[in-house]
Amino acid sequence: MAFRQVKELLQWVCDFHASLAARYTHLASDQDDERMKMALDFLADRERRMRENIERYLEDDKTGVLDTWLIDSADFVHPLVLDRIPHCVDCRDVQDILANAMAANQTLKDMYRMRGELAQIPSETELFNELVKNQDAEMRLQVRDIGRLEMY
């Protein structure tokens, strides 16, 4: 998958979060285990919020970084990897669900970090470094809140 501009990449990220939210919602509707259902509903909500945050940025960007051309777009494989993650075929318990979510989060974080390292202008570097920080914060939140399900 080749993205030519930052805005194309971020639009794909929005679509990815939307598809992940839909997948978690679908998995939750099939669950008999209340903790698994709660974990999946929580993750679906978090994915919707992440999508909304990126969408707001796409609408309100005042830096012009969205029109920045990406280098090495032909070799960009993270989206292909991410497309395989949301299925969680063998999720048997809350820890499996959390591991699946962390795999998606880490892959996004790695993608953002790589884009920051390859950035050619400071505003592009700042954007992707901020996305790395946001992804770290989201991962901590998900681990903490899903971990609470295991305590009760």
pLDDT digits (tens, 9 = 90+) for 15-50: 989 988 998 998 899 889 999 999 999 999 999 999
Smallest Cα–Cα separation from 133: which of 113, 103, 114, 107? 113
Domain 6-151 has CATH 3.30.70: no
Model pTM above 0.85:
yes
Neighbours of 102 (CB within 10 A): 16
pLDDT digits (tens, 9 = 90+) for 95-109: 888 988 898 899 899
What does the alpha-carbon distance between residue 133 and residue 144 come to, in Å, rounded to a whole number?
17
Tell me if 67 sits within 8 A of 10, measured CB to CB: no
H-type helices in the chain, by residue range? Answer: 6-29, 34-60, 78-84, 94-118, 122-151
